[in-house]
């Protein structure tokens, strides 16, 4: 009885839209007999009772108390948790629950001496509850299995000795050894020269990733080659994977409009059903000539059983949770069912360029300085000034010029958003940024320089234009496919970027993006998105925390989270873990599939219930048929909801 109560109690939580991510047991074949122990005993008692009803055994048929006691024992064995849940609900003021419906329907069946049907209703309801609980546990554990790939122990390097310790006991700056085939237990910095890792637990992609000295290694990655040493940079609780698991765990609290509607609907629907059942029982007395109370009571009980809303209140949250799990399986974090709903009817996707559609890995193409200046000195100053910026362009300059060894004695350094950097050295001003920066300080330069297709870093010193550095960025391999897929999904695309307009237009032309705008400052991006959005459901896709204002303005913010952008994971509604643009249409595709399955469940449940309700009201349906209609529809809805995690969305997306 304890296990059965657990199942019912769990479902009572699901009725309110909560999915228990922390389920710790997964139903296995060896556990099935234990799981269904009480339902099996109740079923055997019910079968025995029905067999005796059809037998010629005089003692059974002549002693009503014996027959009643037998069926009552079977009923209480399986139905006590439901009766208790109904009682507790009434005490809390929650009278009209599915537990209340089941209780009055089955007690009513006993009142008119339809004992087998009363037991059968409760038995099939309890079996349905167990299946529902198993389905929710499976969905929860599937997601945990996909995400939490961390080993419980790590190998700590202490001098010449190695020691196995619990991962949660490791501290920052500890050095751990990860052997070939082992999973990384903690986030850290690569100390070895190079390593090759399977990142599928984090990104959904099985393509190995090369990681070099000083680069980040994250918990959940699998070392596929030689042993490597890693310096721990975050505790077990603060790892990237812990953040991801927490986000998915909390995702079920963000309800989709459909889910919220069904919850509100159930609160109104259930009392209406109870009052309608009372009307079915008593109103015919005034209109029917040969009114038989027992017949109309029986019809009202059938009405109550069929109208139980359990198929809706469990399958809909489970459908959205399944969609979140399917997205996680493909390396996409969706922070709630409401965002899946928004993705399903997106009309416009607005994209950033650098780091979203392009690699964000800039390479220096050309360096030009006026012959009147010391080129080596100027380049070292530019490199030193850029060391105060985190922009990918600064990284490209460092790769080209080398590390800053002796930084100049700067008198002041200022970053001008959307323009570049300004620094004062030896009493003279050095400007490094776009041509807008030079315009801002009235620096003269040749206008034709702005026609360069490459990104151009303009440099001015002591109020004079002294040269430029051109930098190119590579378009991501799957960017063109992403735009084509969005087009097939009837989603309009626009690109907004702070980069040079000529560069932006070239990238847009290459990818087939319908409209693009360059040379935009952060506040101009916000205004442009506000104009583009209008009445269309719009998503903005960006690659960092700098895009937070436009992400906040959009209906759903999608971030290229990569393997290290904590700020992006926090600010966005949807996070693409491997930075692949092709995951944008994939997330929309998953959203559409989830909503389709949810509405299938709603339509199937209502259609079957309305049909059987009609038959029951006019006396053409039995309690047995009512049970099959209720439990059968619930199980169909649950199976339909969980199948979303078995769909190969990548394959389907390629075939649209």
Q: Which residue has the tokens 């693009």?
A: 516
The four Cα atoms 160, 161, 166, 167 give a dihedral, to 10 degrees, of 20
Both tokens of 490, joined, read 């009837």
User: What are the phi and psi torsion angles at 607 (to 5°)?
Assistant: -60, -50
Task: Measure CA of the first residue to CA of the last residue in the chain; give whole Å.
Answer: 50
Q: How does DSSP classify residue 449?
A: G
Q: 3-state DSSP call for residue 514?
A: coil
**Three-class SS of 153-177:** EEEEEECCEEEEEEHHHCCCCCEEE
**Three-class SS of 601-626:** HHHHHHHHHHHHHHHHHCCCCCHHHH
Rounded to 5°, the CA angle 79-83-89 comes to: 145
The whole-angstrom separation of Cα 380 and Cα 404 is 7
Bridge partner list, 364: 471
Q: 3-state DSSP call for residue 115?
A: helix
The whole-angstrom separation of Cα 384 and Cα 382 is 5
Residue 357 and residue 511 in contact, taking contact as beta carbons nearer than 8 Å: yes
Q: Which residue has the tokens 């067999």?
A: 51
Q: Which residue has the tokens 């303009």?
A: 458
Q: How does DSSP classify residue 369?
A: E
Residue 470 and residue 451 in contact, taking contact as beta carbons nearer than 8 Å: no
CA 201 to each of CA 143, 195, 330, 580: distance values in angstroms, whole numbers, following the listed order: 11, 17, 10, 15
Q: Please enumerate in sequence order all residues whose Cβ is within 8 A of that of 323, keeping only pairs 6 or more positions apart, or say none.
A: 334, 337, 340, 590, 591, 593, 594, 597, 644
The whole-angstrom separation of Cα 175 and Cα 7 is 45
- Work out whether strand 348-351 and strand 492-496 pair parallel, antiparallel, or are unpaired: parallel
Q: Is 352 annotated as catalytic?
A: yes
Residue 65 and residue 31 in contact, taking contact as beta carbons nearer than 8 Å: no
The H or E element spanning position 516 is strand 515-517
Rounded to 5°, the CA angle 190-194-198 comes to: 85
Which of 245, 54, 65, 55 lies closest to 148 in space, CA to CA? 245
Task: Describe the strand order of the beta sheet including 188-190 as a list of residue ranges.
Answer: 161-166, 153-158, 175-178, 228-232, 188-190, 216-217
Q: Which residue has the tokens 């399955």?
A: 597
Both tokens of 653, joined, read 């997306």
Residue 156 and residue 172 in contact, taking contact as beta carbons nearer than 8 Å: no
Q: Which of 352, 499, 578, 630 is catalytic?
A: 352
403-412 long-range Cβ contacts below 8 angstroms, 24+ apart? 404/380, 408/380, 408/381, 408/384, 410/384, 410/385
CB burial string 298-334: b at 16+ within 10 A, e below: bbbbbbbbbbbbbbbbbbbbbbbbbbbbbbbbbbbbb
Catalytic residues: 352
């Amino acid at each position: 009885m304890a296990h059965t109560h657990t199942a019912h109690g769990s479902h009572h939580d699901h009725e309110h839209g909560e999915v228990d991510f922390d389920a710790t047991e997964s139903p296995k074949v060896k556990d099935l007999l234990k799981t269904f122990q009480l339902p099996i005993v109740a079923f055997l008692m019910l079968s025995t009772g029905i067999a005796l009803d059809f037998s010629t055994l005089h003692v059974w048929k002549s002693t009503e108390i014996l027959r009643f006691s037998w069926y009552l024992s079977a009923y209480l064995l399986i139905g006590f948790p439901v009766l208790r849940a109904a009682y507790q609900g009434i005490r809390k003021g929650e009278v009209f629950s599915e537990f209340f419906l089941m209780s009055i329907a089955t007690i009513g069946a006993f009142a008119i001496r339809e004992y087998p049907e009363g037991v059968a209703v409760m038995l099939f309801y309890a079996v349905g509850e167990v299946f529902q609980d198993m389905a929710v546990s499976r969905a929860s554990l599937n997601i945990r299995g996909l995400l939490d790939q961390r080993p419980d122990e790590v190998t700590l390097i202490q001098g010449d000795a190695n020691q196995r310790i619990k991962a949660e006991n490791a501290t920052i700056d500890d050095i751990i050894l990860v052997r070939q085939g082992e999973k990384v237990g903690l986030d850290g910095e690569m100390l070895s020269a190079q390593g090759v890792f399977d990142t599928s637990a984090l990104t959904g992609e099985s393509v190995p990733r090369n990681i070099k000295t000083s680069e980040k290694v994250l918990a959940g990655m699998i070392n596929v080659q030689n042993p490597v040493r890693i310096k721990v940079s975050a505790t077990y609780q603060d790892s990237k994977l812990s953040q991801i698991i927490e986000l998915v765990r909390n995702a079920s609290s963000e309800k989709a409009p459909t889910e919220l509607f069904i919850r509100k609907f159930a609160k109104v629907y259930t009392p209406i059903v109870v009052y309608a059942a009372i009307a079915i029982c008593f109103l015919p007395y005034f209109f029917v000539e040969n009114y038989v109370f027992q017949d109309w009571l029986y019809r009202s009980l059938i009405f109550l059983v069929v109208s139980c809303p359990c198929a809706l209140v469990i399958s809909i949250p489970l459908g959205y949770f399944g969609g979140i799990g399917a997205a996680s399986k493909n390396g996409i974090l969706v922070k709630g069912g409401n965002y899946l709903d928004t993705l399903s009817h997106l009309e416009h996707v607005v994209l950033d360029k650098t780091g979203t559609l392009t690699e964000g890995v800039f390479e220096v193409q050309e360096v030009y300085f006026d012959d009147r200046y010391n080129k080596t000195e100027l380049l070292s100053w530019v490199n030193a000034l850029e060391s105060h910026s985190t922009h990918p362009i600064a990284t490209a300059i460092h790769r080209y010029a080398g590390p800053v060894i002796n930084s100049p004695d700067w008198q002041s350094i200022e970053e001008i958003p959307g323009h570049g950097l300004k620094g004062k050295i030896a009493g003279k001003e050095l400007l490094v940024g776009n041509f807008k920066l030079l315009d801002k300080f009235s620096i003269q330069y040749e206008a034709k320089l702005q026609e360069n297709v490459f990104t151009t870093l303009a440099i001015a010193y002591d109020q004079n234009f002294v040269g430029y550095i051109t930098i190119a960025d590579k378009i991501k391999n799957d960017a063109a496919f992403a735009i084509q897929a969005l087009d097939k999904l009837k989603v309009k695309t626009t690109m907004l970027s702070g980069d040079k307009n000529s560069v932006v237009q070239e990238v847009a032309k290459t990818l087939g993006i319908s409209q693009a705008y360059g040379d935009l400052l952060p506040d101009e991006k916000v205004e442009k998105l506000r104009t583009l959005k209008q009445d269309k459901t719009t998503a903005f896709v960006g690659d960092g925390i700098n895009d937070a204002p436009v992400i906040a303005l959009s209906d759903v913010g999608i971030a290229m989270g990569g393997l290290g952008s904590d700020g992006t994971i926090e600010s966005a509604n949807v996070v693409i873990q491997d930075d692949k643009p092709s995951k944008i249409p994939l997330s929309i595709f998953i959203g559409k599939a989830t909503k389709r399955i949810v509405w299938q469940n709603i339509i199937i449940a209502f259609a079957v219930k309305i049909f059987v309700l009609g038959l029951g009201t006019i006396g053409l349906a039995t309690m047995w048929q009512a049970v099959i209609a209720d439990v059968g529809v619930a199980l169909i809805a649950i199976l339909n909801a969980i199948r979303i995690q078995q769909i190969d969305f990548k394959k389907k997306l390629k075939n649209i």
